[in-house]
């Protein structure tokens, strides 16, 4: 058995090291390690509860809105107002958050992932100059013609402009990006005027045009060429908290655009929140893990058996993949009928099963599906926005309370938990999407989802190409994961 170290994994967010143990040209075992400690949960101890939201949005510059929302939901839950958020406030938060999804999925497809599949050495002229600035591994296994490569690289450049538009959408209602100023417990601080609503609509239409006429055909072309990648990077267990509340409650998981739940061995089950725990057997921490509000963890670089700064979230003691594949599976189990019919038709056309969604190609397909769907929903929400009433409700900070806030970031389930004592934060815990996906082994030796997905991946020669494709298909965000 030989060992290949990929350190750092490039074209992802943050610091990730992957160690591959290779035998007979295939990955036999994989170890995923987050190399940075940040300590944001510890920074929060003893602070005013409202600080939590302003600080935790800074957990990440890529998916800050998911943390901002999870923290707002968490505080609302602790303040006892989670069931009574004004509908306009809720919709504005969805409009901000949804635009960030579009931004993230474009970023992932064009700027983080696509270069794994392109052979840039084929280019000539001005595109060759650009190619000189980019690193790509795709030459070893590219299936795009020169004309397609040039077109995709042209879309790579157009997608930069489209991401800017998506950020403008967010900032119109959120005050600024990446770290919003508008989302607060109880709703939003700012009621946009007609000019801002029109500006949002105008940009959203431009963005939708691009998604329908450029991004989606590119995703389909990719799937056609890399059909065998529905077999690469597979996992079995999927989990979602659900996202985008549809009513006035930020706490109820049943009434959300993307449904909550778990899929295990093919079957859907409702989520039992008490079953979420964190293990630190493979992590550099002292103390005990367990449920988020009961853990007593401190950083400890000398920890026996530790090889990562990520903790290992588990559900009923098992590792679960979170993200777009999980969300689409939950939609197929519990979601809108119209969307289910569309997805089932697509799976039939591609001749793939629901189970194959949790694969390298399946994750790209799932992102494509939810990007188109969400862009349409954003326009519907904008049409139904009634700004004649309140966009936030008041609250009182209790002496003692605890709360939980759950939502979805583009790359998966985000949860925040708080315990308040004497009107101060006594304990705060975050479990980020990539903490699930890139987690190390737990006390039973169960590998994390990326570690599992890598097993069996072909490693021709010194090639890290396929392993890179598997890891990047999860859209890892390590800054979030270590928080
Ligand atoms: Fe955490
Ligand atoms: Ni992030």
We report the CATH number of the domain holding residue 360 as 1.10.645.10
How many Å lie between the centroid of ligand 2 and the Cα of residue 68?
11
348-351 long-range contacts, CB within 8 A, separation 24+: 350/223, 350/227
Q: What whole-number distance in Å separates Cα of residue 297 and Cα of residue 287?
A: 5
Closest ligand relative to 323 C-alpha: 2
The pLDDT tens digits of the residues spanning 322-362 come to 999 999 999 999 999 999 999 999 999 999 999 999 999 99
One DSSP character per residue, 45-89 reads TTS-HHHHHHHHGGG-SSSHHHHHHHHHHHHHHHHT-TT---HHH
How many Å lie between the centroid of ligand 1 and the Cα of residue 253?
21
pLDDT reported for residue 413 = 98
Q: What whole-number distance in Å separates Cα of residue 414 and Cα of residue 242?
A: 10
CA distances from 17 to 39, 55, 411, 447, 468 (A): 20, 27, 19, 15, 11
Burial of residue 152 (CB within 10 Å: 0-12, 13-18, 19+) is buried
- Residues of the chain with pLDDT > 70, as a percent, come to 100
Mean pLDDT within 127-156: 86
Number of domains within the chain: 1
What's the domain range around 91? 2-481
What is the DSSP pairing of strand 243-245 with strand 256-258?
antiparallel
Examine the pLDDT at 139 and tell me if it is beyond 90. no
pLDDT reported for residue 134 = 78
The token duo for 354 is 């629901």
Closest ligand relative to 297 C-alpha: 1
The pLDDT tens digits of the residues spanning 411-427 come to 999 999 999 999 999 99
Question: Do the Cβ atoms of 173 and 92 come closer than 8 Å?
Answer: yes
- Residues of the chain with pLDDT > 90, as a percent, come to 93
How many Å lie between the centroid of ligand 2 and the Cα of residue 61?
7
Mean pLDDT within 87-99: 98
CA distances from 220 to 227, 343, 474 (A): 10, 14, 19
The pLDDT tens digits of the residues spanning 206-230 come to 999 999 999 999 999 999 999 999 9
Mean pLDDT within 431-459: 97
The pLDDT tens digits of the residues spanning 280-325 come to 999 999 999 999 999 989 999 999 999 999 999 999 999 999 999 9
Gap between the terminal Cα atoms of the chain: 34
For tokens 């599906």, the residue is 369
Q: What is the dihedral of CA 370, 376, 380, 383, to 10 degrees?
A: 140
How many Å lie between the centroid of ligand 1 and the Cα of residue 469?
27
Mean pLDDT within 2-11: 93
What is the DSSP pairing of strand 238-240 with strand 261-264?
antiparallel
How many Å lie between the centroid of ligand 1 and the Cα of residue 124?
47
Binning pLDDT at 50, 70 and 90, where does residue 124 land? confident
Strands laid side by side in the 401-409 sheet: 401-409, 412-421, 424-431
3-state secondary structure (DSSP) of residue 192: coil
φ/ψ (deg, to 5) at 425: -75, 115
Rg, Å, the chain Cα set: 22
Which residues have a Cβ under 8 Å from the Cβ of 340 and sit 6 or more positions away? 331, 332
CB atoms within 10 A of CB 389: 10
How many Å lie between the centroid of ligand 1 and the Cα of residue 482?
7
Q: Evaluate if pTM is beyond 0.95.
A: yes
How many Å lie between the centroid of ligand 2 and the Cα of residue 345?
32
Q: What whole-number distance in Å separates Cα of residue 233 and Cα of residue 360?
A: 6
Closest to 372 (Cα-Cα) out of 342, 412, 408: 342
> E-assigned strands of 422-465?
424-431
Reported as type and span, the H/E element at residue 156 is helix 146-174
Examine the pLDDT at 131 and tell me if it is beyond 90. no
How many Å lie between the centroid of ligand 2 and the Cα of residue 353?
30
Reported as type and span, the H/E element at residue 183 is strand 183-184
The token duo for 408 is 């979805």
Question: Do the Cβ atoms of 70 and 406 come closer than 8 Å?
Answer: yes
Question: Do the Cβ atoms of 222 and 108 come closer than 8 Å?
Answer: no
One DSSP character per residue, 120-135 reads GGG--THHHHHHTTS-
Closest ligand relative to 483 C-alpha: 1
Examine the pLDDT at 152 and tell me if it is beyond 90. yes
Q: What whole-number distance in Å separates Cα of residue 154 and Cα of residue 256?
A: 36
pLDDT reported for residue 132 = 77
Mean pLDDT within 367-389: 97
Examine the pLDDT at 136 and tell me if it is beyond 80. no
DSSP 112: I
How many Å lie between the centroid of ligand 2 and the Cα of residue 23?
33
Binning pLDDT at 50, 70 and 90, where does residue 121 land? confident
How many Å lie between the centroid of ligand 2 and the Cα of residue 198?
29
The pLDDT tens digits of the residues spanning 28-46 come to 999 999 999 999 999 999 9
């Amino acid at each position: 058995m030989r060992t290949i170290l990929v350190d750092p994994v490039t074209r992802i967010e943050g610091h990730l090291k992957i160690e591959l143990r290779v035998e007979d040209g295939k990955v036999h075992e994989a170890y995923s390690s987050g190399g940075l400690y940040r300590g944001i949960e510890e920074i929060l101890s003893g602070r005013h509860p409202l600080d939590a939201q302003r600080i935790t949005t800074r957990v990440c510059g890529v998916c800050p809105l998911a943390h901002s929302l999870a923290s707002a939901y968490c505080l609302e839950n602790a303040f006892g107002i989670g069931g009574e958020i004004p509908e306009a406030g809720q919709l504005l938060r969805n409009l901000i958050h949804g635009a960030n999804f579009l931004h993230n999925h474009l970023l992932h497809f064009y700027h983080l992932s696509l270069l794994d599949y392109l052979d840039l050495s084929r280019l000539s002229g001005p595109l060759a100059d650009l190619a000189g600035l980019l690193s790509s591994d795709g030459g070893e296994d590219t299936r795009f013609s020169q004309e397609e490569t040039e077109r995709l690289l042209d879309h790579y450049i157009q997608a930069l402009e489209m991401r800017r538009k998506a950020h403008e959408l967010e900032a119109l209602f959120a005050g600024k990006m990446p770290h919003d100023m508008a989302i607060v417990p109880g709703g939003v601080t700012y009621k946009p005027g007609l000019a801002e609503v029109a500006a949002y609509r105008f940009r959203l239409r431009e963005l939708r045009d691009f998604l329908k006429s450029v991004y989606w055909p590119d995703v389909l072309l990719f799937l056609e060429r890399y059909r065998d990648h529905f077999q690469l990077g597979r996992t079995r267990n999927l989990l979602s908290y659900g996202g985008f509340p549809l009513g006035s409650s930020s706490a109820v998981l049943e009434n959300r655009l993307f449904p909550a739940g778990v899929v295990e061995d093919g079957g859907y089950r409702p989520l039992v929140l008490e079953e979420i725990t964190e293990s630190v057997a493979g992590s550099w921490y002292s103390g005990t893990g367990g449920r988020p509000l009961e853990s007593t963890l401190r950083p400890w670089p000398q920890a026996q058996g530790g090889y990562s700064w990520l903790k290992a979230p588990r559900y009923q003691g098992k590792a679960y993949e979170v993200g777009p594949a999980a969300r689409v599976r939950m939609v197929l189990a519990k979601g809108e009928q119209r969307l289910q019919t569309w997805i089932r038709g697509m799976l039939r056309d591609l001749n793939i099963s629901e189970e194959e969604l949790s694969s390298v190609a399946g994750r790209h397909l799932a992102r494509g599906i939810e990007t188109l769907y969400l862009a349409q929903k954003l326009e519907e929400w904008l049409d139904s926005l009634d700004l004649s009433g309140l966009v936030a409700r008041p609250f009182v900070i209790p002496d003692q309370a605890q709360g939980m806030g759950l939502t979805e970031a583009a790359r998966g389930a985000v949860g925040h938990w708080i315990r308040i004592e004497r009107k101060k934060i006594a304990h705060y815990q975050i479990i980020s999407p990539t903490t699930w996906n890139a987690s190390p082994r737990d006390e039973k030796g169960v590998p994390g989802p990326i570690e599992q997905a890598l097993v069996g991946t072909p490693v021709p020669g010194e090639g890290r190409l396929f392993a890179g494709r598997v890891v990047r298909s999860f859209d890892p965000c390590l800054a979030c994961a270590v928080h």
